[in-house]
Amino acid sequence: MAVVAIGDVNQDGFQDFAVGAPYHSTGRVSIWMGSKTGISQTPSQVIDGKDIPGGGFQTFGYSISGGMDVDRNSYPDIAVGSLDDRVVLLRARPVIHLKNSFTVTPEVISLEDCDACIEAKVCLSYTFSTGSASSQKSISFQYTVDADQQSSRSPRVRFLDNKDGKYTGKMSINPSGDCRSLKLELVSKTIQDKVAPIVFLLRVSLVETPSSGGQTLEDLSAFPVISQKNALTNKAEIHIQKACGLDNKCESNLQMTAAFTDEQNTPFPTRNGQQIFHYTTGVKKLKLMVNVSNVPSQDKKAEDAYSASLNVTIPTSLSFSSLNPKNLNVELSPGVPYLLCTLGDPFKSNQRVEIEITFETTGITIDMQEIQTELQLSTWSDQNDLQPLLRVLMVEYVLQPFFNIPLSQFRTEFSGKVIGESAMKSTSDIGSPVEFNLTVALSGKPLGNLGYLEVVFQWPSSVANQKWLLYLSEIQMTGTSKPFCVPENNVINPLNLTVSERKTRRRKRDEASLGSEQTEPQTLPNPRAVQRKPPANLDCDTGSALCQTFTCPLLGMDISANLTVRARIWNSTMLEDYNAARVLVYGRATLSLKTDKPSIKMSNYTREFTVAIDPAEAEELQYEVPLWIIIVSALAGVILLSLIVILLWKCGFFKRANTRELYEAKALKAEMKTQPSENDRLTEED
């Protein structure tokens, strides 16, 4: 290794040195610069032996000699030797200090008044590092001006000469320097980004002159290098006129609130800080109400917000329908899960706007738990606190089934004789039949594997003294995966009797009347039919009857199901305890939901049914009036008649007239009188 001081190569007043490494490949020499801060961290130039034309070196840099000026150009040269018996003279190129001046006018432009009003001016000059300003030849420089290249969008201005945002030119100048002027124009009058300054960047480089390649030494003044002290770049910027103060810096204060509402703009209720949406298939649309403001606060100026926009992600379960107000520009591309709404350019200070975004609920499924959307405000103005706003709508699917007992009042009769339980072979031995039909229907999508509906019966099976009352024969189901309901605890047909209802149904097509086996519901009997005893109400809620509670799950139900409940009146209980009296029996059926999905909800639906049981001869019974009523009625009639007779006697109704007096002649005396004159009448008056 060889280390040699080579003098001040770059003429900065500090000594430089060279380091030879002869055994690095074919040999290498590194030039290190001194400075006021010390030795440079990296070499300023590295010369490899293999790069020397025609050299063929193997140990280039074995020896170095510096401090000489062979071509007398005031720059030190060095000689590099090797073990290959060859020496190379490395001459130092002149160092120039470049000066550039770069200006763009005017500093503020008006979009309405600016056509080709922008001018960029580039001025270059230089001096040699030795202090000499004389040169026999001019030096060529290449300069490139980038207009608005730092903008995230396409350039807002372009050069008139090439209709582009970038211009490259050449200048061949003496040390005294020269200038070039470039004209620019606006690409469009409707520039979206009016806030960011239009930045111009200048880059300068030397145009390398090719070597003549002759045997004589060339004048290296035509091959200078630019001093590292001089920046090869420069920058200038201009602004677009706007209402943002003298500093041309717009500080906005955009704020936003958002909430989901129904079609009537009523916000959905809130639970634990989250909005709750009770979804049914009847809900076709919902809205997102967004309020945006640009109002000054304590530490915010709220200047105009240029290119203010609102970005809203569209949930996968919803589809965009409309947006109000209509004057806002909305960008929505097919397949893109967001919409971009332009609020204004600018969205002025103290301005407010309420945006109503309507979505269709086409993609909501019954097992969906939430709907999420993210809202993001943006502006070209200076505001660094614009954070995304997340809104979550918790979905609760509310089932609204149709549950009904079409004929909930059933009338039947009891008669015959008492039969013991052990003597019964079929359900027809028990008593008269009772039949109810229950209808269940869903409006909308079936539950599938997300859950199922079930009917819970409160069945009055016995009276308070535990005698049989309504004996369940069977519950047949249609629209479900199972044809019959078979609950636990042997509730249905616990005596395992032959179900005669099935044979009866086959005979119905050929029989005009069924007698005591009739199962068609009838109206309640005529209230004028007089009975000996008041009706007996048997109800589990009052304790007058005992109920069995059991469940019929509607497994495999699509959108509807029917249940037919068949039972028998326990005839013996009616004859023993309620003979010659009407009995009203009350029962209940409740439709409920079974699911492990917390988002699916349904209220219980309870329906009541009634069985009116009358004795078979109830309408033929004659009411016997008690004897005391007859006696009292007779006495009252006699007393009333006596009072009427006495009253007529007092009035002379019974006194007879004498007919003789009517026809007997009578003598009458006649009297004659004169009429007084007028004078006599006046005299009497005096």
User: Tell me: the pLDDT tens digits for 156-175?
Assistant: 899 999 999 899 999 998 88
In degrees, rounded to 5, the angle at the alpha carbon of residue 501 between the alpha carbons of residues 500 and 506 is 100
Evaluate whether residue 118 is within a structural domain: yes
> Where a domain ends, among 398, 423, 439?
398
Last residue of a domain, one of 62, 90, 118: 90
Classify strands 545-554 and 452-463 as parallel, antiparallel or unpaired: antiparallel
Is the residue at 662 inside a domain?
Answer: no
Listed in sequence order, the residues at least 6 apart from 642 whose beta carbon sits closer than 8 Å to its beta carbon are none
Answer for the pair 95, 11: CB distance below 8 angstroms, yes or no: yes
pTM: 0.58
> Both 477 and 418 in a single domain?
yes
Is the same domain home to 595 and 580? Answer: yes
Percentage of the chain beyond pLDDT 70 is 86
How many domains does the chain divide into? Answer: 4
Residue 183 has pLDDT above 90, yes or no: yes
Does 59 share its domain with 102? no
pLDDT score of 509: 40
Residue 627 lies in a domain: no
542 three-state secondary structure:
helix
* Residue 372 sits in the same domain as residue 412: no
At residue 638, the pLDDT reads: 87
- Pair (496, 584) in one structural domain: yes
Whether 646 is in a domain gets the answer: no
- Calculate the dihedral angle through the C-alpha atoms of 310, 316, 322, 327, rounding to the nearest 10 degrees: 20
Residue 279's pLDDT is: 86
- Residue 455 is predicted with a pLDDT of 97
| pLDDT beyond 70 at 357 | yes
In a shared domain, residues 440 and 484: yes
Same domain as 107, residue 67: no
- Rounded to whole angstroms, the Cα distance separating 370 from 358 reads 17
Q: Residue 300 contacts by C-beta under 8 Å, 6 or more apart in sequence?
A: 251, 253
Query: Any residues with CB less than 8 A from the CB of 338 and at least 6 apart, and which?
Result: 311, 312, 313, 314
pLDDT band, residue 510 (cuts 50/70/90): very low
The per-residue pLDDT for range 43-100, each reduced to its tens digit, is 988 999 888 887 778 889 889 888 788 877 788 889 988 888 888 888 888 888 888 9
Last-in-domain residue among 370, 398, 426: 398
Phi, psi of 313 (to 5 degrees): -75, 135
Same domain, residue pair 354 and 475: no
Q: Which two tokens stand for residue 615?
A: 């004795």
Question: What is the torsional sign of CA 63, 68, 69, 71?
Answer: negative
Same domain, 444 and 425: yes
- 631 found inside a domain: no
Q: What is the CATH classification number for the domain harbouring 195?
A: 2.60.40.1460
Same domain, 298 and 444: no
Q: What is the pLDDT of residue 512?
A: 36
Task: Indicate whether 553 pLDDT > 50.
Answer: yes
What's the pLDDT at 617? 64
519 pLDDT more than 50:
no
Identify whether 497 is part of a domain: yes
Domain assignment present for residue 668? The answer is no
For strand 233-240 and strand 108-109, is the pairing parallel, antiparallel, or unpaired? parallel
CATH number at residue 351: 2.60.40.1510
Q: Which two tokens stand for residue 319?
A: 């589809």
Tokens of 29: 């020499």
Our separate counts of H helices and E strands in the chain read: 5, 41
Tell me, yes or no, whether 179 and 43 share the same domain.
no
Domain span including residue 428? 402-508+515-615
685 falls within a domain: no
Interacting residues of 385 by C-beta distance below 8 A, sequence separation 6+: none
Within 10 angstroms of residue 174's Cβ, the number of other Cβ atoms is: 14
pLDDT tens string 651-684? 877 666 555 555 555 655 555 555 565 555 555 5
Alpha-carbon gap, residue 342 to 584, rounded angstroms: 71
The predicted structure's pLDDT at residue 620:
46
Task: Give me the phi and psi of 678, to 5 degrees please.
Answer: -70, -35
Q: What is the CATH number of the domain that holds 550?
A: 2.60.40.1530
Q: Are residues 458 and 494 in the same domain?
A: yes
